[in-house]
Amino acid sequence: MSVSYRQPGVVLTDRRFTVPLDHADPTGETIELYAREAVASDKADQELPWLIYLQGGPGGKADRFVGRPGWFGRALQEYRVLLLDQRGTGASTPASRQTLPLRGGPAEQADYLAHFRADAIVRDCEAIRPQVTGGAPWTVLGQSFGGFCTVAYLSLAPEGLSAALITGGLPSLDAHADDVYRAAYPRIERKVAAHYARYPQDVDRARRIADHLLTHDVVLPNGYRLTVEAFQSLGIMLGSGEGSHRLHFLLEDAFVRTPGGHELSDAFQEQAQGLLSYAGRPLYALVHEAIYGQDARPTDWSAERVRAEFPRFDAAKALAGDEPLLFTGETIHPWMFDCDPALRPLRETAELLAARTDWTPQYDPARLAANEVPAAAVVYHDDMYVDTAHSLTTARAIRGLRTWVTDEFEHDGVRAGGPRVLDRLLALARDET
């Protein structure tokens, strides 16, 4: 039964749906999806078009807004909005260290998780759309990985869309994971250099923390083993608008003096474990490289292998000389499944996913070249998470797609920019600008 309730300026309704685990086997096992329907309070009785929001990730649940902030408030001016918890996330049937053992052993878990990529999410959207809109097409807004899903939507079921809006999420149509990370590491290094240019005092602070971690065994209060590689991975923050500032504030009070000498402060450790733990989004670590699987080649821990081609990211070598420590970015590594207690029981499952050779293409270049759905995308110049060159190549491959390339925002522009980003995308899709 659907339950409705109110927040300031908005009426919310909890919606639940049952969909096949494998859409190729519609009579087989099913899973549950959760979505939150939202409509402006003063429009609750009106017939409005629908917009479905696809969150970034993979493995991220839909935003839990309070009131009508930012792009969400702009969307509510003319749409009913469906905030979907994609399969395995949020209040949908969960996939985590606690629930995956219900599937069986690591092999069964890996087979199950192979159904959690963009193509399955698109099929989920199409399965629930008739129940939500009565069969009418809807507008999709895809952020980051949600943009990958949107391009898959245009490939697999464009008849379900009245418009497609993409923010920081135009994927390469054919790149292997290795290609993605070879393009990523130089971008990450540029972001780190920009951070140190803004906060030069952080060069010494980061080196001091890294040196401490190379010579001490540090286990955070939640059981996370803080290695130097784990510390470097905090660089993922540098891809967001406020990330450089947040990283700076994290580093500035890292040490306290104790009777036994200087140690990492409890405050630093508490913040670090919240940033590093995948307890709230284990799917991100498990299927992140799988989103780049397009053919029979395994991903095979691509980010870890490709990192070896960029020796400047080696912390020990940096500390042995006078080079600044380089942070890393949106990369998943096998050591994470040793360090993070939320991931440790899933290490073998992750290994099996990394070794899979039965990935299939998620995008249809021929169908995209014939696209008739009004579409617009914002491409963030030098986006740390999604390669700009890959995005623009894909933009040229989608018929009628209009792009806005900007360096005004980082990857989180749709959130940081208030209503402006959605305003611009709607205008582009409607040929109003």
Q: Which of 230, 346, 222 is nearest to 287 (CA)?
A: 346
Point out the residues that are catalytic: 144, 358, 411
CB environment 125-139: b (16+ within 10 A), e (fewer): bbbbbeebbeeebbb
How many other C-beta atoms lie within 10 A of the C-beta of residue 329? 24
Kindly state the helix (H) or strand (E) to which residue 195 belongs, with its residue range: helix 177-198
The DSSP result for 277-344, as a single string, is: --TT-HHHHHHTGGGG--SSS---SHHHHHHTT-GGG-HHHHHHTTPPPPP--S---TTHHHH-TTTG
**88, 95 Cβ separation under 8 angstroms:** yes
Three-state DSSP at 374 gives coil
Query: What are the strands, taking DSSP E only, across 187-242?
Result: 218-219, 225-226
Neighbours of 161 (CB within 10 A): 24
Q: What is the dihedral of CA 187, 189, 195, 199, to 10 degrees?
A: -170
d(CA 418, CA 295): 38
Place of tokens 């049937």: 93
- Cα–Cα nearest to 15, from 80, 100, 108: 80
